């Protein structure tokens, strides 16, 4: 499938796109069984790409519903294990489709899959945690009521910059949340508040905006790539900035362009080197 075909290459391109990434807590993600990753969301699709390429298990991601409207886009996104979530701003007529996604998530939990949800419910280039929506809590409540052994794993992704190439990232994965952490899951209002309070506390602890200085040597692959791939990098960033104009999609589009441009650039580079070699 497209997910398994692209994942190794995208993982490699990320190493050329990111100057430094500090990852902690990967051991908190269970090796098997149903898992819901509850993550911060400061950087659009890039957040999901980063997590899908970092975590060894297959990850299903919830994404904004408007990008699924065209049939060709829906086919591609579905093949990448993405599910749509619609907001009121995208039209009331689509809100009912969220029930289908909600039920699909429960089915995935029953099969022991990993589902990524952005608990703030909106993507903003923020540095602090936004108030959590109720979606994460409702999914956990439904799964636990149905007798599933669902594990909720809090995640925080912190970026030193959003709109520039060569960023530093702190990816922290926290201690898990399980059904036994709550005295009751039956009372909707009480449970939803208790769950969100606990998840908020755990996610806030994980937010870390202390970024180390990284030398040329310590980021050797990125540093060498920045020199060799400078034209492709510059073009991708230029186009992305023109298209996004400072909104949250810069990294997502810049990375997407690089995934397409780099193989072409490398082939062109090889051709030029071979041509020069023949001349001399």
List the one residue out of 175, 209, 233 whose CA is nearest residue 22: 209
Residues 66, 45 contacting (CB under 8 angstroms): no
Assess if residue 214 is contained within a domain.
no
Q: What is the pLDDT of residue 96?
A: 72
Assess if residue 212 is contained within a domain.
no
- Rounded Cα distance between 18 and 32, Å, is 29
Assess if residue 173 is contained within a domain.
yes
Q: What is the pLDDT of residue 247?
A: 76
Strands 167-173 and 151-159: antiparallel
What number is the average pLDDT over the span 151-170? 94
**Based on the structure, what is the number of domains in the chain?**
2
CATH for 87: 3.40.1130.10
Instruction: Encode pLDDT of 60-80 as tens digits.
Output: 999 888 788 888 888 888 899
- Rounded Cα distance between 135 and 102, Å, is 9
What number is the average pLDDT over the span 117-132? 90
Say which residue, 278 or 230, is predicted with more confidence: 230
What is the band of 98 on the pLDDT scale with cuts at 50, 70, 90?
confident
If asked whether residues 224 and 118 sit together in one domain, one would say no
Cβ partners under 8 Å of residue 3, min gap 6: 58, 79, 80, 81
If asked whether residues 142 and 228 sit together in one domain, one would say no
> Domain boundary at 173, 206, 239, which?
206
Q: What is the pLDDT of residue 89?
A: 60
Q: What is the pLDDT of residue 95?
A: 67
Q: List Cα–Cα distances, 221 to 210, 216, 233, 263, in angstroms.
A: 22, 9, 14, 17
What number is the average pLDDT over the span 49-57? 96
> Domain boundary at 151, 179, 206, which?
206
Degrees, nearest 5: CA angle 129-134-138: 135
- Rounded Cα distance between 12 and 14, Å, is 5
Domain residues for the domain of 266 are: 220-279
What is the band of 172 on the pLDDT scale with cuts at 50, 70, 90?
very high
Q: What is the pLDDT of residue 93?
A: 61
């Amino acid at each position: 499938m497209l997910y398994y075909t692209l994942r190794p290459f995208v993982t490699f391109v990320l190493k050329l796109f990111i100057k430094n990434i500090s990852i902690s807590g990967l051991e908190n993600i269970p090796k098997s069984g149903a898992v819901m990753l509850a993550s911060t969301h400061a950087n659009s699709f890039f957040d999901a790409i980063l997590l899908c390429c970092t975590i060894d298990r297959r990850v299903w991601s919830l994404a904004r519903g408007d990008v699924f409207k065209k049939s060709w886009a829906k086919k591609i996104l579905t093949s990448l294990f993405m599910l749509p979530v619609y907001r009121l701003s995208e039209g009331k007529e689509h809100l009912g489709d969220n029930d289908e996604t909600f039920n699909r998530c429960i089915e995935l939990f029953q099969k022991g899959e990993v589902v990524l949800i952005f608990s703030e419910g909106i993507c903003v280039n923020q540095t602090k945690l936004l108030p959590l929506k109720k979606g994460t809590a409702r999914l956990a409540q439904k799964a636990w009521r149905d007798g599933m052994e669902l594990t909720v794993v809090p995640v925080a992704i912190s970026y030193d910059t959003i709109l520039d190439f060569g960023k530093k990232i702190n990816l922290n994965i926290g201690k898990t949340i399980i059904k036994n952490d709550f005295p009751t899951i039956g009372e909707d209002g009480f449970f939803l508040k208790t769950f969100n309070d606990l998840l908020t506390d755990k996610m806030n602890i994980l937010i870390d905006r202390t970024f180390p200085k990284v030398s040329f040597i310590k980021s050797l692959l990125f540093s060498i790539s920045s020199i060799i791939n400078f034209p492709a990098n510059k073009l991708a960033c230029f186009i992305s900035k023109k298209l996004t104009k400072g909104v949250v999609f810069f990294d997502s589009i810049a990375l997407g362009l690089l995934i397409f441009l780099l193989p072409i650039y490398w082939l062109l580079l090889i051709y030029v080197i071979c041509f020069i070699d023949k001349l001399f």
